[in-house]
Amino acid sequence: MASENLTASSYIQHHLQNLTYGQHPDGTWGIAHGAEEAAAMGFWAIHLDTMLFSIGLGILFLWLFRKAAKKVSVDTPSGLQNFVELMVEFVDQSVKETFHGKNKVIAPLALTIFVWVFLMNTMDLVPVDFLPHLASLLGVPYFRVVPTTDLNATLGMSISVFILIIYYSIKVKGVSGFVGELTLQPFGKWMIPFNLLLEGVGLLAKPVSLALRLFGNLYAGELIFILIAILPWGIQWALSVPWAIFHILVIVLQAFIFMMLTIVYLSMAHEDH
């Protein structure tokens, strides 16, 4: 429920503000109290809440899958084991159908991306005021709980994928093959500048599209939950429950899309013409 001490506008701005740590203009280091202070900290400021939840959920993913692997049983599989096996088989089948090269890294990478992004997206189903209210009791002014609504997080993941695309493109095709692919396609050597423009834009669009698609969908979902929280209590439940049920589809779908596009892009990087 929205705080009675905040207007609707300030309530929305408060819930969309990350807990930012960085250097103030006067040279001191600390937490920003407001969007203007956060912006003044510049590029090297860190969103502590994004780091906390993204790293924490990554550790949770590793712990759950390790626990299932250590207690695996053929005769009496647990519910956790069944879930992990389902995830592994699903991702493995997706990789087999989409990736046409030979690389032992792709399947574990795809599994990590799908489960990790899914867990981060799922935080959007936590009631809007629950964790921020608990944080405020501890003196924490801002606390966003969905890492994928932070463009820094989605760009960080997409840039990591982009680095892998460049690495495997050069490894498989060689430097000359990679440069030739950028400069000689699709119109041959007489149109090198035009080819470089087209292929360069297409190459750079991959990480941008990965980051913005995930960020945009989850940010919109978070914003709708915040807008619903402003409404009277009875209307909140009438709207939030159907939206949460629908949003489950968005959460799973965006994790799946990020994983599949990563597989497709890396498959293209392994294609040697």
Taking a C-beta distance cutoff of 8 angstroms, is the pair 46, 22 a contact? yes
Alpha-carbon gap, residue 251 to 225, rounded angstroms: 14
Please tell me which residue in 18, 54, 217, 240 is annotated as part of the active site: 217
Can you give the C-alpha Rg of the chain in angstroms? 22
Q: Which residue has the tokens 């030739």?
A: 180
Give the global pTM. Answer: 0.90
Alpha-carbon gap, residue 227 to 223, rounded angstroms: 6
Residues 6+ apart with CB under 8 A from 190: none
* Poorest-pLDDT segment among 38-52, 138-152, 184-198: 184-198
Write the CA distances from 124 to 100, 105, 184, 221, integer angstroms.
Answer: 35, 30, 45, 8
Tell me the per-residue pLDDT of 193-227, one tens digit each, with 9 for 90 and over: 888 888 889 899 999 999 999 999 999 999 999 99
Please tell me which residue in 144, 209, 240, 267 is annotated as part of the active site: 209
Give domain limits for the chain. Answer: 48-269
> pLDDT at position 109, please?
95
> For the chain, where are the alpha helices, taking DSSP H only?
8-15, 35-40, 48-70, 79-98, 106-122, 130-137, 151-183, 192-230, 233-269
Write the CA distances from 159 to 50, 85, 113, 181, 204, integer angstroms.
Answer: 17, 29, 13, 21, 10
* 217 in active site: yes
Please tell me which residue in 103, 136, 152, 213 is annotated as part of the active site: 213
Output the six-digit token pair for 6: 């905040």
Average pLDDT over residues 255-267: 95
* 213 in active site: yes
Q: Is the pLDDT of residue 2 over 70?
A: no
Tell me the per-residue pLDDT of 94-141, one tens digit each, with 9 for 90 and over: 999 999 888 899 999 999 999 999 999 999 999 898 999 899 999 899
Q: Is the pLDDT of residue 4 over 80?
A: no
Q: Is the pLDDT of residue 6 over 70?
A: no
Taking a C-beta distance cutoff of 8 angstroms, is the pair 45, 38 a contact? yes
